Structure 1
Amino acid sequence: MDYIPNVFENYLENSVPEVCHIPPQRWFVAYYRNGRGNFIHDSRYLSKEIGTIPEGNLKKYGKGVLVRAKDNTQARMMQHLPCTSDSMFETIKAHPTFNYSKGCVYSQEFPDEGILAMCPSSIQKVT
């Protein structure tokens, strides 16, 4: 299970960091079958399958559509939306970059090694 420890709240030297669950990804790309599709039909199909999509959360995107789920339930539905042979979409994938953030964690109060020890292995120290 993915987690992000809460490194700055209630920090004690020998304590176990608090675990914060990462919400499901919210940005998806639905690729058209054969690279062609109809945006109006797509929006109706997705609304029927996953519920109402707020204005601005569905946009043309290359050979498909970019969809931003309005909540965690809709995001989970997008992850498991079937792409059968008669479906208008060939694949539906999480967007490769829109679901992640990059940033810097810095503190004068905590040593770098202490912060890194509480972070997942994907976090790297950069000098």
Structure 2
Amino acid sequence: MNYIPNVLESYLESSVPEVRYIPPPRWFVAYYRNGRGNFIHASRYLSKEIGTIPEGNLKKYGKGVLVRAKDITQTRMLQHLPCPSDSMFETVKAHPTFNYSKGSMCL
């Protein structure tokens, strides 16, 4: 009987397990405070705070504004956007479903 070395076994022992990371969210919802829901003012405020927002990346969304970050820098700024008591926004949160494509469930 011929000896056939198991090359695959040594490869599996030395390989590093695949590490999957969850990409940072791109879509955020900035919720208005009561009585402060003005889309034009929101657009100006967000542009001042996080920089230029490309056309189509800012939309009305219920009682808030839907914002798509154009890059990782804007993503980080939106994640940590301050909402003081005199601000027009109550909270800024990542959108619960827009950030993940269908079928890709990250655990």
Structure 1 unpaired stretches of 5+: 1-11, 105-119, 123-127
User: Structure 1 residues 88-97 or 32-41, which shifts more?
Assistant: 32-41
For the Cα contact (< 8 Å) 1:29–1:94, is it kept in 2? yes
Q: What amino acid maps onto 1:91 in structure 2?
A: T
For the Cα contact (< 8 Å) 1:36–1:63, is it kept in 2? no
Question: How many percent of aligned residue pairs carry the same amino acid?
Answer: 84
Q: What amino acid maps onto 1:55 in structure 2?
A: E
The structure 1 segments of at least 4 consecutive aligned residues displaced by more than 6 Å after TM superposition are none
Q: Distance in 2 between matches of 1:55 and 1:73?
A: 18
Q: Distance in 2 between matches of 1:92 and 1:99?
A: 15
For the Cα contact (< 8 Å) 1:26–1:99, is it kept in 2? yes
> 1:51 aligns to what?
51
Superposition CA RMSD, Å: 1.8
Matches within 5 A, 1:17-96: 17-19=17-19, 21-34=21-34, 36-96=36-96
Structure 2 unpaired stretches of 5+: 1-10
Q: What amino acid maps onto 1:73 in structure 2?
A: T
For the Cα contact (< 8 Å) 1:32–1:63, is it kept in 2? yes
Q: Matched residue pairs, number?
A: 95
Report deviation, 1:19. 3.5
Which entry has the higher C-alpha Rg, 1 or 2?
2
Q: Distance in 1 between matches of 2:46 and 2:23?
A: 21
> 2:3 aligns to what?
none
Provide closer, same or farther for how the CA distance between residues 39 and 30 of structure 1 changes in structure 2, counting only shifts above 3 A: same
TM-score by length of 2: 0.80
Q: What amino acid maps onto 2:40 in structure 1?
A: I
Higher relative contact order at CA 8 Å, sep ≥6: structure 1 or structure 2? 2
Q: What amino acid maps onto 1:69 in structure 2?
A: A
Report deviation, 1:34. 1.0
